[in-house]
Structure 1
Amino acid sequence: MTSTIDTIEVKTITGVSAQKLGELHAFGVFTVKDLLEYYPFRYEDYRPRSLSEIKHGDKVTLEAKVIGIPVLQRFGGKSRLSCKMIAEPWMFTATWFNRHYVREQLTVGREIVLIGKWDQKRTQITVTDYEFPDRGEGKTGTLQPVYSVGGKITQSWIRKIINQGLQQFGDMIPEILPHSIMRKYDFMPRKRAIATIHQPVDTREGQQGRRRMVYEELFLFQLKVQSFRVLNRGRMDGVVHTVDNTTVRQFVRSLPFELTDAQKHVELEILHDMRSPYCMNRLLQGDVGSGKTVLAAIALFATVKSGNQGAFMVPTEILAEQHLRSLAKMFEPFGVTVGLLTGSVNGRKRKDLLAALQMGMIDVVIGTHALIQEDVFFRGLGVVVTDEQHRFGVNQRSVLRRKGYNPDVLTMTATPIPRTLAITVFGDMDVSTLSERPKGRIPITTYWVKHDLMERVLKLISREIDQGRQAYLICPLIEESEKLDVQNAIDLHIQMGQAFPNYKVGLLHGRMTPSEKDVVMRAFYSNELQLLISTTVVEVGVDVPNATLMIIMDADRFGLSQLHQLRGRVGRGQNASYCVLVADPKSEIGRERMTAMTETDDGFEISRRDLALRGPGDFFGTKQSGLPEFRLADMTADFEVLEQARDDVAELLRDVAFWTSPDFAPLRNYLQNEQIFQGDLMD
């Protein structure tokens, strides 16, 4: 087999010692390809500028001449070195901290290039790097790449090794994009683009190299998900559901509310998928309280009436029990049996449930990750529903799916993203969006207050509870932390008990056992507790229609989407509800979060702002969501490129030549290596 840069080990590059090899492995660099695609995250600009064009605080490169005798000051084991310089016609001071050895090199009349931060008030540059032209070091006038390094790997070493790698193996970098795409966008060749990113002659060339490689990353990502979709549509047989419209209509008419137009539209999409001979792989996204659960119920009902079983996996026991109560009530008139399988179900009760499930005596099972344990078997699994899909790892979802023969898959999330982004990112899934709220929902009024107004917040709690309502009080930590000066649940529980001696105050946090949490939530649900102090464990929790007040302490510590999820715990009854954000944000992002929460209660707009503030990695939780971790591309900044790549791939896959022409052989080989042709569902 011919060696390629993705099979040649990085140790073959001259200068990579056994010790350094281990360090590179720690950075995920094992092959020459890994090294050449280990891109810099920014550049140091060594191109000199004139003092007349720079501003206070700028990081600059100056060509200067030594005109004074260097002065060294020592204090407490540290040192400060100052020397007068001239950059015609300006005179200024260059200052080094803790670099006393530089003094010997600063001889009057010697030319020097200084890199550092300019202080306009003191006419001074604080030097971070420097070089002497008479040594021929060669950084002056260039853009030097800055890499993520650590351990015993330094910037200068990684630069040298990548340059060596380009010299030894640069000619082996293969072209992968087809000629048609290269011509369409006037892209530079792949070999030159990679070299340019590491060694840009100027900013424009560096941008051109990055432009080409960003497109390639997004193009290959789209190729993978879309080609899988094309192949899956034609060859992956699923469960064909035969339920008739009349039966489904009877179930929908039995519900105590009318479906919104958006729900009716999504219902048709789901039933169409379930009746097709191919696997449904649909993402259902909707804002908090938009009515996703009833659509899951329709899908589960349809599979049971077609002679199959359904599984509904949720992230917490509290949520599983809530769904059990609501679904059992919906299904009871139609003879559909529902079971619950969580970590708390054990002993004889668990054995009986597993036996009933395997024999088909239970139609729908609702549970946590306990559903994916090895001893759980189904008679005939037809539909798998996962709620809050981003909370489950890729492996957890796929294990549950494999408990049947290609069952239909419906994943749900209350962390919505703009539809175009969802379609583009989840390219292997069909995307349904609930953008309409159920009729009669009263909007939640949101306030942002500083900590010094806490007395007014306590009066608001009293007012709501005295009217027979209930309140949540959320804080970010369970116990006191030396690192974060934030309120914690345990202390707050004590304080609120003292502030409201006539109310029952409960405590809920993630370190409690499932049974302990259950006792507290049941007490709150039945109004035995009026005020619940909790961490974010209630973010996905039971519906308490009587709860009308959500107070979030140190709210700037939370992400926007998480704040919106917490706000969605109230406003589920017929009474006016309120959310109070208590925060003194010190960062601009914190202030923007508070402003966004008070300006809109639209989950899609909240998610759009959250994505912009946090970036895609934090927003989606990259590892858990199955999203790729791009080396160069940024899902937010490069979204237009992502959409263009999506459209280009769609057009390419419609062309018969893609599957036959030599021009597309590198792309077909890429898909082969990614095992797309094996026909298993992607997660």
Structure 2
Amino acid sequence: MTGRPERLFPLFAELRTLQGIGPKTAAHMVALGVEAPRDLLFTLPYSGIDRRLRPTIEDAVLPATLTVAVTVGRHMAARAKGGAYRIHVEDAETFFQLVFFHARGDYWSKALPEGSRRIVSGKVEAFDGIAQMVHPDHIVPEAEADSIPDFEPVYPLTAGVTQKLMFKATRAAMALVPDFPEWIDAAQKTKAEWPDFNTAAQIAHTPTRQEDLLPTAPARERLAYDELFAHQLTLALARATERRKPGRVSIGDGQLQARVIAALPYKATSAQDRAVAEINADMAGPMRMNRLLQGDVGAGKTLVAFMALLRAVEAAGQGVLMAPTEILARQHYESLVPLAEEAGVVLEVLTGRDKGVERRRKLDALARGDIHLLVGTHAVFQADVAFRDLRLAIIDEQHRFGVRQRLELGRKGEAVDVLVMTATPIPRSLSLAQYGDMDVSVLDEKPPGRQPIKTALISTGRMEEVVTRLRTVIDAGRQCYWVCPLVEESEVVDLTAAEERFKHLRAALGEGIVGLVHGQMPAAEKDAAMARFQAGDTKVLVATTVIEVGVNVPNATIMVIERAETFGLAQLHQMRGRVGRGDAASTCLLLYQSPLSENGRKRLEVLRETEDGFAIAETDLQMRGAGDLIGTAQSGVPRFRVADLERQAGLMAIAQSDARHLLSEDPGLQSDRGQAARLLLWLMRQEEAIRLISVG
């Protein structure tokens, strides 16, 4: 199955093969994401206009879009150049005016002669007590009344593309749809009462009432499911391909794990125990592990990760933990040193900072197997880094890190098991969209002894009170974070915002007390500023969102987030999790600029009410949508044209289990349904998946 099946050729031809679309229009349509007739099928109307014929406009509540039969009366030409040309018309009960601007010569007197009958449809408004229809959308002779649809679909538009054009283009695209075999599971289709694909496309483009436009309308739901199913089939194929690669069986006697557990000052949560058991089972199995460890701020992911690393050592192998930044790598290293000492294993750190003799020494020890566990940045990817027997790779903070890097890491060892950790609680529908190729362990409990964090909303007008409060906290020996707003996407503006705030606080609190970290700094300066704050030399750290992930300063008890309303909830929750890491009570102050919108206030109040990251992420998804929530551009979450991840989370879960089920029964997609599913993959532009089948 190398190329696209022939029956799909017309749908993937150039747009200008459709009647009425020339090169210019085709170029305009790209802005709508429409590059081939196939894309028009999935560009659905977002609303509709009721154009049913009525006898009169008499009792209508204006303004309203109305359709009536009229007798054409007197014409009144424009008094001044560029003025309005008016035509008096009468329906069965009353009269109104048709109004045209820029009327040319005798065009209208010929097109609408006095005494003729016409059907007109358009928006009617009252102006100076007279009802007017300005530039009707439709004017047709009575005999052609049928040419005006009872319910006219309204399509998304862009410059150079009109409703009329979209209407014709979508109809032309639908005429090209071949008879597709069914790729949806028969029982699922019956249960959901979905039409087949061709009927669904037809109905979705010819709604007859407002209800037909809802995501829950059967035709729309079916098309949404087709998108989600194709996506999950791709992920399931990727997962099956990964799993066909034999893993290494890593069985440990549990001695090292037991030593560390015994030395802990607290008892692990049942969620941690469960995750460790799932990972141990994966590592002992013949298939390669590909697991996501998802945990809220402070849920204890580090302990679970370390247990997994120890299992690799118990099996006489090595493990590596990779962090996205130098600071985080060193921090992981420092937090793991005491645990490594308890277990009696050799732990080292390798980052871009290691040069010359020191780097050589570490690399030799790694190759000999004298280093059991390595913590590092992507420097551990470099070609000269060789392990004696790498069995497990753990990646911290996935979304800085795509599927490609996961595979690259796998090449470092023979069939390395992969565990990905993320501290961002992701709503289920999104985690299925993003990590559907992985198995997931969730840490949904907080270890005992974590201090709750008090969250308060304060208007930016009370800035000076906040600064006074900081003074008190600093005098008591504590430290504070101050996060500056993200201004649009401009790093230059972010920079000025952060620098201004830094100067302001330095003037208020004194020299040497305030540090600054922002995205434009060279890495070494950033590290140095962070290190000073970690050591307690500076008491306040002014930062853009670089501190969002992972930094650990137990002595910091106040987090001020300026213009909190400009951040996403999940992001605010992450930043709040930077405090409350020691034994003192901590506070997060959300500074907002008033007036806050109703929606803005609701969002910030969710944070004040709960510390449950999963609940917060679900709210964020409902209120902002998937694209904003994770910055779709860099998140690896696909953009769907019909499916709505916020409202159709349930469909995503069904699609995942169905895709996995189909592949377990028919790994090569050879059965009738398998062949149909191949067509779906081509239709949904999932060429990646098709390559995986051919490889498999």
Instruction: Please say whether Structure 1 and Structure 2 have the same fold, judged by a TM-score greater than 0.5.
Output: yes
- Partner Cα separation in structure 2 for residue 598 and residue 420 of structure 1: 25
Q: Which consecutive residues of structure 2, in runs of 5 or more, have no partner in the other structure? A: 682-686
- Partner Cα separation in structure 2 for residue 486 and residue 72 of structure 1: 57
Aligned to 1:160: 168
Give 2:139's aligned amino acid: F
Give 1:3's aligned amino acid: E
Contact 1:548/1:577, CA 8 A, preserved across alignment:
yes
- Partner Cα separation in structure 1 for residue 79 and residue 399 of structure 2: 56
Structure 1 counterpart of 2:205, from 198, 208, 212? 198
Residue range with higher mean Cα deviation, 419-428 or 192-201 = 419-428
What secondary structure is seen at the aligned counterpart in 2 of 1:550?
Answer: strand
Deviations 1:346-393 (A, max 9, x none): 455445544544443433332333333444443332111111212223
Aligned to 1:4: 7
Structure 2 counterpart of 1:187, from 169, 194, 204? 194
Contact 1:5/1:173, CA 8 A, preserved across alignment:
no
Alpha-carbon spacing, 1:181–1:572, altered in 2? closer, same or farther (3 Å)? closer
Aligned to 1:517: 526
- Partner Cα separation in structure 2 for residue 402 and residue 293 of structure 1: 24
- Partner Cα separation in structure 2 for residue 314 and residue 446 of structure 1: 29
1:628 aligns with 2:615: no
Contact 2:99/2:132, CA 8 A, preserved across alignment:
yes
Contact 1:344/1:515, CA 8 A, preserved across alignment:
no
Residue range with higher mean Cα deviation, 620-629 or 575-584 = 620-629
Alpha-carbon spacing, 1:93–1:369, altered in 2? closer, same or farther (3 Å)? farther
Alpha-carbon spacing, 1:89–1:5, altered in 2? closer, same or farther (3 Å)? same
Aligned to 1:39: 43
What secondary structure is seen at the aligned counterpart in 1 of 2:536?
Answer: coil
Aligned to 1:263: 272
Alpha-carbon spacing, 1:373–1:143, altered in 2? closer, same or farther (3 Å)? farther
Alpha-carbon spacing, 1:486–1:160, altered in 2? closer, same or farther (3 Å)? farther
Deviations 1:413-465 (A, max 9, x none): 11113568746864432211111111111110001011222232222212211
Aligned to 1:674: 690
**TM-score, normalised via structure 2 length:** 0.84
What secondary structure is seen at the aligned counterpart in 2 of 1:454?
Answer: helix
Aligned to 1:608: 618
Residue range with higher mean Cα deviation, 480-489 or 621-630 = 480-489
Residue range with higher mean Cα deviation, 640-649 or 78-87 = 78-87
Alpha-carbon spacing, 1:269–1:177, altered in 2? closer, same or farther (3 Å)? closer
Question: Aligned runs of 1:69-148 on 2, under 5 Å?
Answer: 99-101=101-103, 105=108, 113=120, 115-116=122-123, 130-134=137-141, 138-148=147-157
1:367 aligns with 2:376: yes
Q: Give the Å deviation of 1:244.
A: 0.9
Alpha-carbon spacing, 1:601–1:120, altered in 2? closer, same or farther (3 Å)? farther
The number of residue pairs the alignment matches comes to: 671
Deviations 1:254-305 (A, max 9, x none): 3444322221221111111111111111111111111101111111122123
Contact 1:112/1:130, CA 8 A, preserved across alignment:
no
Residue range with higher mean Cα deviation, 663-672 or 518-527 = 663-672
Aligned to 1:640: 650
Question: Aligned runs of 1:227-376 on 2, under 5 Å?
Answer: 229=239, 235-376=244-385
What secondary structure is seen at the aligned counterpart in 2 of 1:417?
Answer: coil
1:504 aligns with 2:513: yes
- Partner Cα separation in structure 2 for residue 84 and residue 455 of structure 1: 66
Aligned CA-pair RMSD: 4.0
Structure with the bigger RCO (C-alpha within 8 Å, sep 6+) is 2
Give 1:331's aligned amino acid: A
- Partner Cα separation in structure 2 for residue 429 and residue 562 of structure 1: 24
Q: Give the Å deviation of 1:651.
A: 5.9
- Partner Cα separation in structure 2 for residue 554 and residue 438 of structure 1: 31
Deviations 1:281-333 (A, max 9, x none): 11111111111011111111221232222222222222111111112332134
- Partner Cα separation in structure 1 for residue 126 and residue 394 of structure 2: 60
Give 1:640's aligned amino acid: G
Q: Give the Å deviation of 1:505.
A: 1.0
Deviations 1:157-209 (A, max 9, x none): 34433322333x23355543355544443332212222332333555666332
Contact 1:40/1:148, CA 8 A, preserved across alignment:
no
- Partner Cα separation in structure 2 for residue 481 and residue 225 of structure 1: 34
Identity %: 36
**TM-score, normalised via structure 1 length:** 0.85
Alpha-carbon spacing, 1:154–1:659, altered in 2? closer, same or farther (3 Å)? closer
- Partner Cα separation in structure 1 for residue 628 and residue 206 of structure 2: 30
Contact 2:552/2:578, CA 8 A, preserved across alignment:
yes
Q: Give the Å deviation of 1:210.
A: 1.1
Aligned to 2:230: 220
Contact 1:68/1:84, CA 8 A, preserved across alignment:
yes
Q: Give the Å deviation of 1:212.
A: 1.9
